[in-house]
Structure 1
Amino acid sequence: MTDETVQAPLGGVITKVERQARAKQRYNVYLDDVFAFSVHEDLMVKYRLLKGTMIEPEEYGRILTEEERHRAYLSAIRLLSSRLRSEYEIRERLKQKEFEPEVIGHVTTRLRTEGYLDDALFAEMLTKQRSESQKKGRHWIKQELQQKGIPKEHISAALEQVNEDDETEAAYQLASKRYRKSWEEDPLKARRKLAGFLQRRGYSGSVVSRVMARMPHSKGNEDWHESSEENDFD
């Protein structure tokens, strides 16, 4: 059986350049009338990939390497445009897209240099958002930062911005909102549920104890504080 597959050349003269129909910023490049590779328009300009240009094998290799890096970079930028991400998250997503380790390393280094990846800042902002807007405790936040691959030193620095008084107030607001009705109906039953709920939210035993001490022990009027939740990191 004859193999009719045409082998892409490793160099030659550009005989045709055509824009892709579905990706307007990408072009197909033909060497000696055979499709050789597709490339983003940024690299088209950089390497002056015009019809009639001679591409040597060495340059051909450089173009393909840079194209792969550029593709991975744009993929990472798209991920970062939706929300902040840790370096670990970006590495894992690029790995899922089957980029090579060398490419992933190059891209993450570039993103750090350009300020798009900053695990210290990421940890600080996530901690602030989780503790203030979502009323999550230090234990919850620490576990989430660990899952996102944040280095220990950045986790410790980020958690230092959360003090126990702020945690207690946040936990109290959350408890007031969630258990207001049940507390007015049966304080004893609500007290048992509340302790477990706050622990599951990541609050320490000392914070839970302080909140419980502020809650009414019997039916009666109480100044209940409202709270809201937002999520910018999911």
Structure 2
Amino acid sequence: MQAGERMKVTQIEEVSKSRVRIYVEDEFAFVLYKGELRSFHIREGEEIEQECYEEILTKLLPKRAKLRAMNLLKTREYTVKQLQDKLKMGGYPENVIEEALAYVASFHYTDDLRYAVSFIEGHSDNRSRRRIEQDLLRRGIDRSTLEKAWLQWEEQGGDQDEQKMIQALLAKKGFASDKANLKERQRMYGFLMRKGFSGEQVRRAVLKEMGDWL
């Protein structure tokens, strides 16, 4: 918004009983509480003052986004991407989100490497490596951080025995390789593959001496 420029509030849309979504010149601008709407004298069809517009974008919303991020992190740890998505859901503009993320990162409240190592530690005995990686990638952890996390976990003494995990799952399912017929083996093979275990590990556990029929 240039100095002296005035823009029209083209739509005010209710989000909840307490919040509204503001559109300026037919484009989404931000979300405000209804009390703030009155405080800033914002009305649909009327112009918004430059000073008011800038105060909302540079003071009000960044402060609120930082508090929102901090409150989210009080209950659990988030990846940067997860926190970003949460703030987007709250209707914060992109530049406000970036400011809030930088703020919490400056206090080391977010750390994707720390998150990934912790996640691996918590699931290494019940999820395959591939499944863990898929889960972390969905949470916004990039490949480089993922590799560093595995290395750090292993350097700290972490170890994973996928064959042992498979055997535990087979026992839980009541599967006996020496008694299972072809259909049962195929079903169990698919089940373990969907769990993220490698084909080689699954074949060792399910097929044994029956030959490679896949």
Match of 2:39 in 1: 35
Any unmatched runs of 5+ in structure 1?
1-21, 23-27, 38-56, 218-234
Separation in structure 2 between the aligned mates of residue 68 and residue 207 of structure 1, nearest angstrom: 52
Deviation string 1:155-196 (CA, Å, 9 cap, x unpaired) is 11233447885222222222221x22x539952354332221
The one-letter code matched in structure 1 to 2:77 is: L
Cα gap change, 1:82 to 1:190, in 2 (>3 Å) = farther
**What does 1:222-233 correspond to in 2, within 5 Å?**
none
**Structure 1 residue 211 corresponds to structure 2 residue 184:** no
Q: 1:102/1:153 Cα in 2 relative to 1: closer, same or farther (>3 Å)? A: same
Q: Sequence identity, in percent? A: 26
Indicate the RMSD between aligned Cα atoms, in angstroms. 3.5
Please identify the structure whose Cα radius of gyration is greater.
1
- Per the TM alignment, residue 207 of structure 1 is displaced from its structure 2 partner at its CA by 2.1
Q: Does 1:141 align with 2:145?
A: no
Amino acid paired to 1:122: Y
1:88–1:148 Cα contact (<8 Å) kept? yes
Q: Can you list the C-alpha shifts for 1:125-148, whole angstroms capped at 9, x where unaligned?
A: 12222332xx22122222222222
Q: Structure 2 CA distance, aligned partners of 1:148 and 1:64?
A: 28
Shift of 1:206: 2.4
**SS of the residue aligned with 1:115?**
coil
Q: What is the TM-score of this pair, normalised by structure 2?
A: 0.62
- Show CA shifts across 1:40-92 (max 9, x none): xxxxxxxxxxxxxxxxx989956873331121122223332333211011111
> Which runs of structure 2 are paired with 1:167-186 in the superposition (5 Å)?
167-177=162-172, 179-180=173-174, 182-183=175-176, 186=179
Distance (Å, rounded) in 2 between the aligned partners of 1:79 and 1:118: 14
Where does structure 1 differ by over 6 angstroms across 4 or more consecutive aligned residues? 57-60
Q: Whole-Å Cα distance in 2 between the matches of residues 109 and 165 of structure 1?
A: 35
Query: Mean alpha-carbon deviation: is it higher for 196-205 or for 63-72?
Result: 63-72
1:108 to 101, 121, 130: 101
Whether 1:196 and 2:190 are equivalent positions in the alignment is: yes
| 2:148 aligns with one of 150, 157, 171 | 157
Query: In 2 relative to 1, CA 102–64 (structure 1 residues): closer, same or farther, beyond 3 Å?
Result: closer
Q: What count of residue pairs does the alignment treat as equivalent? A: 164
Alpha-carbon distance change, 118 to 201 in structure 1, aligned in 2, over 3 angstroms: same
